[in-house]
Amino acid sequence: MRRGTRKTQIVVVGGGAGGLELVRRLGAKYGRRNHDIILVDKNLSHIWKPLLHEVAAGSLDANMDEVGYRSHCARWGYRFFQGSLESIDRKDRTIRLAPVLDDNGKEVIGAHTIRYDMLVLAMGSVSNDFGVPGVKDHCLYLDSRTQADKFRRKLLNHCLRVSRAMLADPASDERVKVAIVGGGATGVELAAELYNAAAGLRHYGLEVFDESRLEVTLLEAGELILPALPERLSNSARDELTTLGVEVREGVPVVQATEHALVTKDGEEIEADLMVWAAGVKGADFIGDLGLAVTSRNQIVVKPTLQTVTDQDIFALGDCCAFTPEDGGPQIPPRAQAAHQMADTAFKNIRLRERGKTLENFVYKDNGSLISLSRFTTVGSLMGNLVGGAMAVEGRIARFIYTSLYRMHLIGIHGWLKGLGLMVIGRVNRIVRPRLKLH
């Protein structure tokens, strides 16, 4: 695999949950003596995607929880390049990165190529608008920190507007209206987190604003929200959201988005100040132009070893890949736990390939699904493969397990020593830092 005396170059594109864990383990294993481990990402820092709804609501300060790639690579022995993947030349085994531009559109880093001996694609996913007219122009997404920050700024502006209106006229019936499309984890967790944040705003300068001035509508095209959970837990989550004040509407497909409203299949217009689209995911559009076999949702088709069916030198993992078990079961869902497990298999297979040995097949272990309704409650099912998803958990126990998932993520990307240290720091920060990020 090594060409002449050159180092073996392993390039990972995407610094999400799976990609960042993989480069840490590769860097720790190989160092820089005979290998060159490279991470490519368009952003400069990483934040765990399941936390983006908290960033959007202002409950989490991403500056405190993000991981800077440059400092992380210095610690773990890999290199970091900022850039967006533009194309792959499989013949010459190189990737081309698009130019990096500043806020004014001026070029900071020119387009350039990076060679690879092995390439791992871990670019994650983006929201799937299913071609619904108006969604791209009028709805907000929560695929990245940038989008979460944008939502938070708009939310705070609307809260301030309503607060000022109430000060000018105490009888004002002004409200902040938020419509969320998609009753999966992101939509449900965001709806609950918004009420948690609204309840805290009166302590931070908006004395006349509270959760009673928030109007959240959650729209789900299917018959139940949280379809991955048992029906009892789905109903429990719906009841909790309703108690908070969320209007949960199931079996209501959205067919159009206008500037200030969502239009349902029945022609009803649901007006909103902020509209969030969280109705499904797909691979980014550019993935379909990379010359690899993809599904209709732009997910890269992989073999059981996580190598792409198109090229054995290219692996794919996480949300951007389509993995179907050999037994003909359903495609692995786009979850953080799947990305972590795939990173582990990819690490093992890269090592096996280096030694010329047979690669292992990826085996997904469904550990269940947990949904956090902010500080109010947590619901979910555990150990899906072992007990068929029948082990239902709610309340404090579920919340403890949900928190433990993030702690395991910290250990995965930082190692045990620093991971445990960050857990302690995190506990202290939750006591001493403001409850809400208001800027």
In a domain, 1, yes or no: no
Domain with residue 231: its CATH number is 3.50.50.100
Total domains in the fold of the chain: 2
Q: Please indicate, yes or no, if residue 2 is contained in any of the structural domains.
A: no
Structure-model confidence comparison of residues 389 and 251, the more confident one: 251
- 179 and 274, same domain (yes or no): yes
Is a pLDDT exceeding 50 seen at residue 106?
A: yes
Per-residue confidence band for 387, with pLDDT thresholds at 50, 70 and 90: very low
Answer yes or no: do 121 and 226 share one domain. no
| Residue 160 sits in the same domain as residue 269 | yes
**pLDDT higher than threshold 90 for residue 201:** no
* Sign of the alpha-carbon dihedral angle for 264, 267, 268, 273: positive
The Cα 278–Cα 217 span in angstroms is 13
Mean of pLDDT values over 424-437: 54
pLDDT at 385: 45
| The pLDDT of residue 405 | 66
For residue 438, tell me if it sits in a domain: no
The CA distance from 20 to 420, in Å, is 18
Instruction: Write down the pLDDT at residue 379.
Output: 63
Do 96 and 166 fall within a single domain?
A: no
Query: Is the pLDDT score of 417 beyond 50?
Result: yes
Per residue in 210-248, pLDDT (tens digit) is 788 899 999 999 999 988 788 888 888 899 999 999 999
Whether residue 236 is found in the same domain as residue 341 = no
Over the stretch 53-80, which tens digit does the pLDDT of each residue have? 889 988 877 777 788 999 999 999 999 9
With bands split at pLDDT 50, 70 and 90, how would you rate the model's confidence at 389?
Answer: very low
Share of the chain above pLDDT 90, in %: 58
Task: pLDDT band for 437, please (50, 70, 90 cuts).
Answer: low
Q: What is the pLDDT of residue 118?
A: 98
User: Is pLDDT of 422 > 70?
Assistant: no
Q: Which of 315, 336, 364 is the last residue of a domain?
A: 364
Which one is predicted more confidently, 7 or 180? 180
Q: Which of 349, 364, 379 marks a domain boundary?
A: 364
Q: What distance in Å separates the CA atoms of residue 410 and residue 415, rounded to the nearest whole number?
A: 7
- Please indicate whether residue 330 or residue 106 has the higher confidence score (pLDDT): 106
Both 96 and 191 in a single domain?
no
Residues 214 and 323 both lie in one domain: no
* Least confident range of 159-163, 251-255, 306-310: 159-163
Average per-residue pLDDT in the chain?
A: 86
Report yes or no on 289 lying in a domain. Answer: yes
Residues 315 and 425 in one domain: no
Last residue of some domain: 364, 399, 417?
A: 364
Is residue 439 in some structural domain?
Answer: no
**Looking at the domain assignment, is residue 437 inside a domain?**
no
Region 311-324: what's the mean pLDDT?
96
Give the mean pLDDT of 249-271: 97
pLDDT surpasses 80 at 365: yes
pTM reported for the whole predicted model: 0.87
Same domain, 69 and 83: yes
227-241, 294-308, 391-405 — which one is most confidently predicted on average? 294-308
Is there a domain that residue 109 lies in? yes
Residues 163, 108 share a domain: no
Instruction: Identify the CA nearest to 316 among candidates 176, 162, 68, 118.
Output: 118
Tens-digit pLDDT profile for residues 13-52? 999 989 999 999 999 999 888 899 999 999 999 888 888 8
Q: Tokens 């993995």 map to which residue?
A: 323
Residue 130 placed within a domain: no
> Which position has the higher pLDDT, 109 or 431?
109
User: Residue 312's domain spans which residues?
Assistant: 8-125+283-364
pLDDT at 423 over 60: no
In the prediction, which pLDDT does 427 show?
55
pLDDT of 61 reads 79
Top mean-pLDDT range of 84-93, 384-393, 412-421: 84-93
Residue 438 clears pLDDT 50, i.e. is over it:
yes
- How many percent of the chain have pLDDT more than 70? 83
Q: What is the mean pLDDT of residues 383-402?
A: 51
pLDDT surpasses 60 at 133: yes
For residues 24 and 114, state if they share a domain: yes
With 0-12 / 13-18 / 19 or more C-beta atoms within 10 angstroms meaning exposed / middle / buried, residue 435 is middle
Instruction: Output 386 or 293, whichever has higher pLDDT.
Output: 293
Same domain assignment for residues 55 and 111 = yes
Q: What is the mean pLDDT of residues 91-96?
A: 97
